Every structure is written in C-alpha cells, then in structure tokens.
Amino acid sequence: MSLITMFRNIIFNFYDYNAKNIHANDIKFVVIHIPDQVGDAMAIYPLIRALEQQPITHLLIVSSTLNNPVFEALTLNNTTLTVVTMTMQDHATIAEIKKIAKTIIEQYGTPDLCIEAMRKKNLKTMVFIHTLRAEMNFQVVGLSMKCYSPLCKIASRMDQHLRAPVPMTWATLMRDAGFPAVAAKYEFPLSAEAITEVRRETCALGPYIAINLEGSIAARTFTYSVAQNLIAIIQRECDMPIVVVHGPKGIESAVKLTESCSRVFRLSLSPSLMRSAALINDAALAITPDTSILHMASAYNTPAIAIYADYKTRWPTMQDIAENIVVGKDIDHINMNEFEATLRRILMRINGQQRQ
C-alpha cells in the first residue's frame, strides 16, 4: 500500500459511518451524485433506467451547471424526479457541498440510497457522503469503507482494474444489487423545442455530416488550418453538406469555416448543449475529437469517427457503426492519409447498411 493510499484512508476514516444493507425492494428514495462532466452524466443512464424499472418512489439527481442539460428533458414513469444543480465538483467549495447535502435532507428526508457516481477517490466526495448520511451507499472506486455497500465489489473491479466502459459498469452494479437488468448505454433526452428549432435550419440540407473540432482542452482541439484540411478530405470523398457543431468558444472558427468553405454550415442559433445533441441526433455521420459529442452519437446510434488524442477504454464508441483514430499526442498531429482511409471505410459501411 502506497503512502498516498495510507494517508487517504486515514482521512477518509473520519468521514466513514455505519450504513445499512437494504434490499432493493425496500429502497424508495435515491440520490445520484454526479456534479461532473457531460459524458459522465450521460453514462449514468443505466442507473436511472434500473431505478425507474424497479420502480422507486423518488429519484434526486445532483448535477453540475455543466451537465444539467443532460437531464433537462428527462421524464420518468411512476417515479418522481428532482434535479438539483451545483458548481462542478472540481470548482465547488466544501461549504457548497455540505449545503447541498443538508438541503436535500431538510427538503426530502434521508435517502435510502446514495449512488456516488463521480468515480473519484477524493475529499469532496467523502464530505458529501458523510453530510448526506444515506442509509446505504454505492460506489465503483473500490473503497473498503463501512458506509459503502459490499454489493459494489464486481462493479468496482470493472471500473478500477478492467477499465470497462462506464455505462456497462453502472448497469452491472445495479443488476448485482438486485435491480432490473438494463441496457448499458449512454442517453441524452432531447426536448421537442430543440429538435424543432434545429430541424428548421437543417431540413433543406438533406443528409449531412456533423463535424466537431473542439475538445475540452487545447490538446483535443483542431487548429483552423487542420480543420480546413479535414473538411477538404470530406468534400473529396462525398457530396454531403457539413455542419459544424461547436460551443461558445468555437463560434469564431466555425464562422470562418462557413465563409471560406463551400457547403459548410453552422446553426444561426446560439450554441447550447441541447442544440448540439439535436444536430448529432439527425446527422448521417459525426466526426469528433470530443468524447461528450461522441457519447451523444452513441446515444442516438449515429455513425461516428472518434478521433482520440489518447484512447481510454472507459469511454469507447458504442454505436453500431464507428471507426476510431488514435493520434497518441496532440490532436493536430492526426495523419490525414489515415483520416481519409477511415472516412472512406465508414462511408462504405453506412452505404451498405442503407442498402440492407
């Protein structure tokens, strides 16, 4: 055991407490704690669907200001849904974390179960668990503590040792805990408003390719010149129009591309996560270096080319038709010949599926 692990265990013991072992049939009120990234939120849908099918009485999701749109259009059958929002955990203060847990208790009572979906062994997570003091807690990071259920062992091994796809890990956890078996997949429910306003702008294009050029960090973001090269290759290989999917920081680059390249478009609407998801939902093909956009494509079974700076087995493509390019360094170092061959291959697969 490393010194870091020993020190962490000493600190965490202060926040530990004796939890109960409650049967799935007796669980009525559940909290899912996920004030994290967009992809992490999309990955917890196996938890949500298993709880819905049980069914439980009340589900409360603690989201972040960043991933809250993933739950905006979510509706559940026979289960009351509450979504509360806080600062993303990386930036949240201890005071805010304690306050959100205390507010849950004051307004709704003590949860029968808290599912710690952050998948992080950190102090902020333990502060939330200790303050909320649910009757029972689930986690998949392999912590051996009294507050966590022993039912988490297999799922923890999947996440920590096998590095299994995250939706699969959550689906396995719920099955092992006695909840209904559900599909291991990403979800991002769309609002009727977002679908309508996006289709109003794209309906005249016919089938289109959605290309996203920006990742969460600079190493996963294509520069303008590389983006131009990628678009040129796409236009040599097919005649489908291209729609640039972007966030607020990508507006300038997207506008320049629409002005300098023929048959390249962007929404005139202000960027939003829900609108990006609606674009991906309707696309014939999605191309992206960003895993959040990739998970949207997986959720809607949209064919995709995933361009990874570094491949992570926990976050794979999960749709029927997908191709992966692993650059192994900053995304701008992508091999254009490899991209061209990959694009040609996936277009053949898409065309083959359409003929069947």
CATH number, position 338 = 3.40.50.2000
Angle between helix 3-15 and 123-132 (nearest 10): 20
Is residue 114 in a domain? yes
Is residue 183 in a domain? no
Domain boundary, last residue among 114, 146, 176: 176
| Pair 268, 300 in one domain | yes
Closest CA to 119 of 326, 324, 315: 315
* 90-100 tens-digit pLDDT: 999 999 999 99
Is residue 244 in a domain? yes
Q: How far is CA 78 from CA 46, 58, 72, 261, in A?
A: 17, 9, 18, 50
Is residue 182 in a domain? no
Per the structure, the count of domains in the chain is 2
| Pair 328, 200 in one domain | yes
| Pair 158, 204 in one domain | no
Is residue 90 in a domain? yes
| Pair 199, 159 in one domain | no
Q: How far is CA 58 from CA 81, 145, 214, 275, in A?
A: 6, 26, 37, 29
Q: Which residues pair with 58 in a beta bridge?
A: 29, 80
Percentage of residues in the chain with pLDDT exceeding 70? 97
**Euclidean distance between CA atoms 129 and 330, whole angstroms:** 37
| Pair 217, 137 in one domain | no
CATH of the domain at 95: 3.40.50
| Pair 229, 147 in one domain | no
| Pair 27, 64 in one domain | yes
For residue 344 the two structure tokens come to: 């040609």
Is residue 93 in a domain? yes
Is residue 181 in a domain? no
Q: Which helix (H) or strand (E) holds 198?
A: helix 192-202
Average pLDDT over residues 138-165: 95
- pLDDT, residue 8, reads 73
Is residue 304 in a domain? yes
Domain boundary, last residue among 143, 176, 209: 176
DSSP string, 210-237: EEE---SSGGGS--HHHHHHHHHHHHHH
pLDDT at 185 over 60: yes
* 248-292 tens-digit pLDDT: 999 999 999 999 999 999 999 999 999 999 999 999 999 999 999
**Euclidean distance between CA atoms 307 and 315, whole angstroms:** 12
| Pair 171, 205 in one domain | no
Name the DSSP letter for residue 78.
S
191: which residues sit within 8 A by CB, 6+ positions away?
Answer: 72, 73, 274
Q: Are 140 and 169 in contact (CB under 8 A)?
A: yes
| Pair 9, 154 in one domain | yes
pLDDT-based confidence at 14, cuts 50/70/90?
Answer: confident
Q: What's this model's pTM, rounded to 2 decimal places?
A: 0.94
- Exposed, middle or buried, 330 (CB in 10 Å: 0-12/13-18/19+)? middle
| Pair 167, 298 in one domain | no
- pLDDT, residue 3, reads 65
| Pair 219, 313 in one domain | yes
Q: Are 37 and 7 in contact (CB under 8 A)?
A: no
Per the structure, the complete domain to which residue 333 belongs is given by 193-355
pLDDT-based confidence at 7, cuts 50/70/90?
Answer: low
| Pair 208, 138 in one domain | no
For residue 325 the two structure tokens come to: 């390019």
pLDDT at 1 over 60: no
Backbone φ, ψ for residue 305 (5° rounding): -105, 115
- Establish how many alpha carbons lie within 13 A of residue 242's alpha carbon, considering only the half-sphere containing its beta carbon: 29
